[in-house]
Structure 1
């Protein structure tokens, strides 16, 4: 490809088939909107049926072909079935975005072992199982793109009861690096987007003009060179890059969408 004549073609994903889990969550909705607007055929997966239908309708209005699956990637059979349904619907699987996951916060002496395990299962085991299921199909096709969701907390600790979440995201980083090495020769890239705080239903309170929000923001922003919290659109560019040909030489990377938070 002569990129000097058509540099934007490197980001072309029109007609590609993308499977997005956690599609009704904050990052999943960003991924769905971005890839819908870029012309992908979408298989959107979420456990909340009402929210799933809302994002599916939005993507259809954009002009995308959309298949909705009201399910959660809870085990090996469920993950394999999601890949099968994507292939049954559109004949291929080119892009996997694992945006499903959870966080439960408590001091270590108050966190039940079952709670720790549930976070690890949702964030680590399910990411691994989905990547495993997608790998089988992508190897048959000769390549593909896998995008996992990590966090700045995979690199940095947090004083407010984040032992399960930090551990899980550090594990996602390890999976990303290991699979990047393992699957690179197969034409499959594996990368992760690692945001810091960005606007979502769970973090909306931090953006509000209240005394508590201002106090929390002040402490947080002291470490963010860009001087602001993240917005959903800050994740859009990195996702399109990792889902497209533009990132063909990038694998095993953790891409921090954090305004410089982890750099200082």
Structure 2
């Protein structure tokens, strides 16, 4: 341990002046990730397909004092991913952090789901994560000097990458298991480069899509009762429950962590 570290342990979490890309920045997790990194002092490049909603995320990040660059693209092709990375380098000179917050779900029993719908979920969650990690990793490796390369890649997994679900989650569960596989494989592949690759795997947390589960209605109470019987912490997740894990994985505090799936689930996967 260095003397500097002992005098200021919080310096391990310092991302001031770092450049971060966040994809899916118009969605619940992506917007949160962008604001957490912005509030911590990083320069933020936000990407999403919904230009209007991207403007709101940009404004929220700028209100926190961050320098922000927006690009209305999804990481849906090699060319798009390279454009997103180029936007970061052209604007801020380098790339230090990638957070892949983009993705989707499509709930359906397998016998009712057309193969095209399954493949669409796999593309959004798996292929796009792979493409974005590839583009960012190429840039991070190219930035290395004197054998010293660094970079933080954070993918978005789910407790459903580990556990099944009875309500038509074959596409989603398969996609998140694949994201876990990418995380572990890249953690090994880039293990000696200074680039870390990890994933956050939440269970239900408050967002526009899940807001109904937090309501004081009979339906919401019934759903919560069954779900919370499996959650040792006894409550559903809040956005703030993802903020700490994200900052940890995006900063030097996690330098010895790679290929790791961090379950932000209140103990759901432990029981």
Question: TM-score normalised to the size of structure 2?
Answer: 0.96
Structure 1: how far apart are the matches of 2:131 and 2:79? Answer: 9
SS in 2 for 1:205: helix
Matched length: 264
Matched residue, 1:251: 258
1:225 paired with 2:232, answer yes
1:28 paired with 2:30, answer yes
Structure 2: how far apart are the matches of 1:119 and 1:36? Answer: 29
State the 1:4 CA deviation: 2.2
Structure 1: how far apart are the matches of 2:30 and 2:36? Answer: 10
Structure 2: how far apart are the matches of 1:229 and 1:252? Answer: 26
Structure 2: how far apart are the matches of 1:62 and 1:240? Answer: 16
Matched residue, 2:203: 196
SS in 2 for 1:186: coil
Unaligned runs of 5+ in 1: none
Aligned-CA RMSD value: 0.6
Matched residue, 2:146: none
Could you tell me which of 86, 97, 122 is aligned with 2:88?
86
Structure 2: how far apart are the matches of 1:18 and 1:44? Answer: 8
Structure 1: how far apart are the matches of 2:192 and 2:78? Answer: 25
Structure 2: how far apart are the matches of 1:223 and 1:217? Answer: 10
What CA deviation, in whole Å up to 9, does each residue of 1:187-230 have, x standing for no partner? Answer: 10000000000000000000000000000000000000000000
Matched residue, 2:167: 160
Matched residue, 1:169: 176
Could you tell me which of 9, 12, 20 is aligned with 1:10?
12
Matched residue, 1:239: 246
Segments ≥4 residues shifted beyond 6 Å:
none
Matched residue, 1:97: 99
Please show how residues 207-226 of structure 1 align to structure 2 within 5 Å.
207-226=214-233
Structure 2: how far apart are the matches of 1:89 and 1:5? Answer: 34
Structure 2: how far apart are the matches of 1:75 and 1:32? Answer: 22
SS in 2 for 1:158: coil
Structure 1: how far apart are the matches of 2:194 and 2:57? Answer: 31
Structure 2: how far apart are the matches of 1:150 and 1:42? Answer: 22
Please show how residues 45-124 of structure 1 align to structure 2 within 5 Å.
45-124=47-126
SS in 2 for 1:184: coil
Question: TM-score normalised to the size of structure 1?
Answer: 0.99
Structure 2: how far apart are the matches of 1:33 and 1:83? Answer: 19
SS in 1 for 2:6: coil
